[in-house]
Chain A
Amino acid sequence: MIATANTAKPLSLWRGLAALAATLFLTTVLSACGQATPPNNNSPLHIATKNKIERGQYLAKAGNCATCHTRVGQAEFSGGRSIPTPFGEVISSNITSDTTTGLGNWSDDDFWQALHHGKSRNGRSLYPAFPYPSYSLITRDDSDALFAYLQTIPAVEHTPPAHQLRFPYSSQLALNIWRALYFEPQLYIADESQSDTWNRGAYLVKGLGHCSACHTPRGILGNSDSARSLAGADIEALGWHAPAIATGELSTGQQEELVKLLKAGINKRDVMSGPMAEVVAHSLQHLKNSDLSAMVEYLSTLPAKSHPSTTVVLKTQKQDQEPFPLGATLYEEHCSDCHGKNGLGEPYRFPALAGNRAVMAASANNAIRSVMLGGYGASTADRPRPFGMPAFAHLFSDQEAAAVINYIRNAWGNQAPAVRTNDVRQR
């Protein structure tokens, strides 16, 4: 077998040996350092601070702070990422420890004022693209830990560009009227009738996780429609649909699969794509299984609410007639190799399309985007080398894309409203 190995292999072996040697050396050196550590590093105060910062780091993952506060390719937390909203672009701020352009001169009270009250250090109201209607629920203790962690982020001097909002959305007056109508600072209140786990899940979903920012439909002024909390919503500015995550009761097995999906970005049947793949990559994969299970437990107690437009059904077809013959032919040629003739996919590789809620969602946005633009799921610790979906925008006409999407939305027992060629064109 050695003879068949190509020339790179001996190198790999030496590299492996070198790594092993380096690890052994470092371990030795580090343990030696550990013994020489000055005693005051083990003082109760030092340990308390260290624990607080570590907790803050974990909470920052749960809140997915870095994703919005980092512009791709730039230093983490240095801001400048554009958050598209129906009212214009909100540009995220620099939250590194820089004293002039970041949070270096802030106190934990200032930070609490931003998180809990939605007001900046200078008293100006913040735009709720920074999801303080959710963050308001978190405890002061967690806020302080988050702040302690952010103060350890190396200072980066960077002033992000100004927001690009249309008038009147750009005015503080309009924002303050909005706040008077739709925002009231409030802490999370535990539901005593529920378990600690349920309450932990609710705290994470409603607070730091700010799931409702995407998954709850919004009113005309961008306010969350609390009557349809977590019932799924179109993210207009991104062109994706955030499906309903108020799942209704789930079996233990279903809950475990959902935890896997949140942790690894993929499970037996589903794969996270689009903006949710980003959430998995930067936030959810870093959370403890106990926290993910708690979130799933909470979500599974929320009654499933259907989006009003799911009640639209297709015109009745004759039983023996293939409703989407062009779609069926294209599926057979381009999709069935991976997703299977029966639409069941391959576990942990290619998602099942039969029975897939994202495929059948009232909004076909996700199906359209996935077919036209393709994409890989997130690299996670559990699944570092994902499988991907090719793009078909250069191969399918809008009409062909609509045909294949209609086929998968209505084959194998699936049922969903028909997509028109124009829906594809607009995406």
Chain B
Amino acid sequence: MQETQKTLLKILLIFWLGYSGSVTASDEDMNLRLRACAGCHEQSNTANFDKNYAPSINGKPVEYLYQQLLNFQEGRRLNTVMNQMLAYLSPEYLHEIASYYAQQDPSSSAPEIKQQSDDQAARGRFLVQQGETGQPACATCHGGDLRGNDIAIPGLRGLSASYITAQLGAWQTSTRHARTPDCMAEVAKSLSGADIDAVAHWIATASDALLTAEAPLDPLPIECGAVQ
């Protein structure tokens, strides 16, 4: 090996080591930078975490989180706090924030206490696991275990019934958007109010034993702009 090549490799190695050596420090640094997010989203922060108000975002797919941050920044999702929070951050930084939360352990929060009649629970389970004709079951994209996939489909476990209801409602009334074709808007608009209630409560309250191991379909049953 030539002397110049060796020198070049040495320099690269030094940079590489320097970079990996700083991982722990940069995680701590990121933690400090993201205190503003932790105020609402961090569940260990029990004083501040409001389960009905802010969803758990730990362990959600990085590209899903990144798309949501862009959606808030560009007005496809409306929430006074989130819209103001992110307004002037660069896409690079938003992606870094998304990666940070994607790497955190997802919550293993206990299901909510059951608040459903048997009929409503049966309807919820049917819509989540079987689906109506022309209306794909939640599990076909989010998986039988409702944990989503690693690329762009979010897990639904750990979300409260009121949060899920609010999101489905926001899609119905077009106050929440995703990139077109907006598959979730289509699905949400095909659900009745009672069905939204049934699905949201079932997802939030079903025990793990009721979930299945079915993998998300590939390709997805309908076209989704966010999953390209």
Spell out A's residues near B (CB within 8 Å): 1-2, 4-6, 9, 12-13, 16-17, 72-73, 265, 274, 277-278, 280-281, 333, 337-338, 349, 369, 373-379, 384-395
Contact = CB atoms under 8 A, between A and B. Distances in A.
Given A9-B19, A72-B75, A375 B85 contact: yes
A376 B73 contact: no
17 contacts: A2-B16, A4-B20, A9-B16, A73-B75, A337-B35, A349-B32, A369-B84, A373-B80, A374-B84, A375-B87, A376-B36, A376-B88, A384-B92, A387-B36, A388-B34, A388-B35, A388-B37
Contact of A278 (B37, B38, B88, B93): B88
Contacts of B90: 379, 384
A388 B81 CA distance: 12
Interface of B: 12, 15-17, 19-21, 23, 32-40, 47-48, 50, 53-54, 73-76, 80-81, 84-90, 92-93, 96
B88 A281 contact: yes
A78 to B, nearest CB: 14
Nearest to A13: B16
A392 B84 contact: no
Contact of B74 (A72, A277, A280, A378): A72
B36 A390 contact: yes
Contacts of A393: 80-81
Chain B interface mostly? helix
B40 A2 contact: no
Given A349-B32, A379-B89, 10 more contacts: A9-B20, A73-B75, A265-B88, A337-B35, A373-B84, A374-B39, A376-B36, A376-B87, A378-B88, A387-B33
A395 B48 contact: yes
Given A4-B20, A72-B75, A374-B84, A390 B89 contact: no
Contacts of A72: 73-75
Given A72-B73, A277-B87, A388-B85, A394 B53 contact: yes
Contact of B85 (A2, A265, A391): A391
Contacts of A388: 33-37, 85
